[in-house]
C-alpha cells in the first residue's frame, strides 16, 4: 500500500468530521457549537491545514487536494467571519474571495467560455453560408425588423426617460437571472443541459453579428451590444462554469461519496452564481441606458470606449483582486 493511499485512508475520518462541523456552522451559525465543539473545530482546522500541505508535497490525487483546500478555505472563512461586521465580510467576499474562486475554477471557466463562443461561431458560420437561416437562428423580436429598419428607427430617437430606462433594466435583469440560474441548475444533468444552454445562447449572437455586418451596420451592432454584453456574457460564462462544477461532483467524485462530492461542489457553484449577481445588475443597468443610446445622442466611438473601460475594470477585478493576500 502506497504512503499516499495510507495517508488518505487514515485522515479521511478527520476530514469528514470537519465537514460535518462546517455544515452545522454554515447552516446554524457558530453558536450552534458548544465549547467542546468549538475547540474540536479549531483543532481539526489546524490538522486539516497541515494535511493539505502534506497532500500537496506527497502528490496525492488532485481531487483530494482540491477537497482539502476547500475545507481549509471554508474553515478560514468561519474562523475570521466574526472579526468584523457583516458588511466587512460581504465586502471581502466580493472584493477578494469571489475573484479567487473564479480563478481557482479556470478550467471550468475556459470550458464554459468555449461552449458559449463555440455557439457564437456556429451561428456566424451558418449565416455566412446561408443568410436565409437568420429567420430560424435569431430571436423573434429581432427577426421582425431588418438591420436597415432597426438602424433607421433607432438612430436619432430620443433616449429613454428615467422611469422607462429603470423598467427596461429591471426586465432585462430578470431575464438574465433566469438564464443564469437555468445554466447553473442544469449542471445536475451531468453538464449536458448546461452545455446545451450555453451553445444555444451563443448561436443567436453570432447570427445577429453577421447579419448586421452583411447589411453594413457592424459599427452600430458592436456599439449596441458590447457595453452591456461584456458583463452579461461574463456572468453567463461564470454561471456555466458553476453548472460544470456541479457536474464534476456527480461525474468525478474522487475518493468522496457521490453525495458528499455533489453537496460540496454545489456549495462552491452557488457561491459563484450568487457572487456574480452584481455583474448582472451592472449589465441590466447599462443595457437599459447606454446601450439604447445611438448617434447622434451618443457617438458610437464613445460607446465602444465605455465598453472597453467596463471590460478592463471587470477583468482587472476578476484576474487581480485578492492576489496580494494569503
Render pLDDT for 144-157 as a digit per residue (tens, 0 to 9). 788 888 888 877 66
pLDDT at 87 over 60: no
pLDDT at 160 over 70: no
pLDDT at 304: 95
Render pLDDT for 164-186 as a digit per residue (tens, 0 to 9). 545 555 655 566 778 888 888 88
Kindly report the three-state secondary structure assignment for every residue of the chain.
CCHHHHHHHHHHHHHHHHHHHHHHHHHHCHHHCCHHHHHHHHHHHHHHHHHHHHHHHCCCCHHHHHHHHHHHHHHHHHHHHCCCCHHHHHHHHHHHHHHHHHHHCHHHHHHHHHHHHHHHHHHHHHHHHCHHHHHHHCCHHHHCCCHHHHHHHHCCCCCCCHHHHHHHHHHHHHHHHHHHHHHHHHHHHCCHHHHHHHHHHHHHHHHHHHHHHHCCCHHHHHHHHHHHHHHHHHHHHHHHHHHHHHHHHHHCCCCCCHHHHHHHHHHHHHHHHHHCHHHHHHHHHHHHCHHHCCCCCCCHHHHHHHHHHHHHHHHHHHHHCCCCCC
Render pLDDT for 249-297 as a digit per residue (tens, 0 to 9). 888 877 677 787 788 888 888 888 888 888 988 888 888 888 888 888 8
* pTM (2 d.p.): 0.72
When comparing pLDDT for 321 and 142, which is higher? 321
32-46, 120-134, 305-319: least confidently modelled range: 32-46
15-19, 177-181, 197-201, 315-319: least confidently modelled range: 177-181
Amino acid at each position: 500500500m502506497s504512503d499516499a493511499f495510507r495517508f488518505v485512508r487514515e485522515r479521511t475520518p478527520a476530514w469528514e468530521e470537519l465537514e460535518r462541523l462546517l455544515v452545522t456552522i454554515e447552516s446554524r451559525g457558530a453558536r450552534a457549537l458548544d465549547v467542546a465543539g468549538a475547540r474540536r473545530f479549531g483543532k481539526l482546522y489546524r490538522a486539516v491545514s497541515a494535511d493539505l500541505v502534506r497532500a500537496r508535497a506527497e502528490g496525492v490525487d488532485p481531487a483530494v487536494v482540491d477537497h482539502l483546500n476547500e475545507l481549509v478555505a471554508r474553515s478560514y472563512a468561519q474562523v475570521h467571519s466574526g472579526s468584523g461586521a457583516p458588511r466587512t465580510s460581504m465586502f471581502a467576499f466580493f472584493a477578494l474571495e469571489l475573484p479567487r474562486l473564479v480563478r481557482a475554477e479556470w478550467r471550468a471557466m475556459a470550458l464554459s467560455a468555449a461552449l458559449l463562443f463555440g455557439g457564437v461561431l456556429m451561428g456566424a458560420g451558418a449565416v455566412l453560408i446561408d443568410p436565409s437561416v437568420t429567420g430560424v437562428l435569431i430571436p423573434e423580436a429581432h427577426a421582425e425588423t431588418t438591420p436597415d429598419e432597426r438602424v433607421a428607427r433607432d438612430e436619432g430617437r430620443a433616449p429613454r426617460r428615467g422611469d422607462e430606462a429603470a423598467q427596461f433594466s429591471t426586465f432585462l435583469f430578470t431575464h438574465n437571472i433566469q438564464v443564469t440560474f437555468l445554466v447553473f441548475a442544469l449542471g445536475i444533468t451531468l453538464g449536458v443541459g448546461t452545455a446545451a444552454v450555453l451553445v444555444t445562447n451563443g448561436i443567436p449572437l453570432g447570427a445577429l453579428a453577421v447579419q448586421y455586418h452583411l447589411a453594413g451596420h457592424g459599427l452600430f451592432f458592436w456599439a449596441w451590444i458590447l457595453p452591456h454584453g461584456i458583463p452579461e456574457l461574463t456572468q453567463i460564462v461564470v454561471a456555466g462554469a458553476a453548472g460544470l462544477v456541479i457536474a464534476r461532483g456527480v461525474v468525478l467524485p474522487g475518493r468522496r461519496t457521490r453525495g458528499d462530492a455533489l453537496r460540496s461542489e454545489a456549495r462552491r457553484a452557488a457561491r459563484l452564481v450568487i457572487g456574480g449577481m452584481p455583474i448582472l445588475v451592472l449589465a441590466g443597468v447599462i443595457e437599459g441606458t447606454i446601450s439604447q443610446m445611438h448617434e447622434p445622442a451618443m457617438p458610437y466611438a464613445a460607446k465602444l470606449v465605455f465598453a472597453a473601460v467596463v471590460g478592463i475594470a471587470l477583468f482587472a477585478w476578476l484576474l487581480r483582486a485578492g492576489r496580494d493576500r494569503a
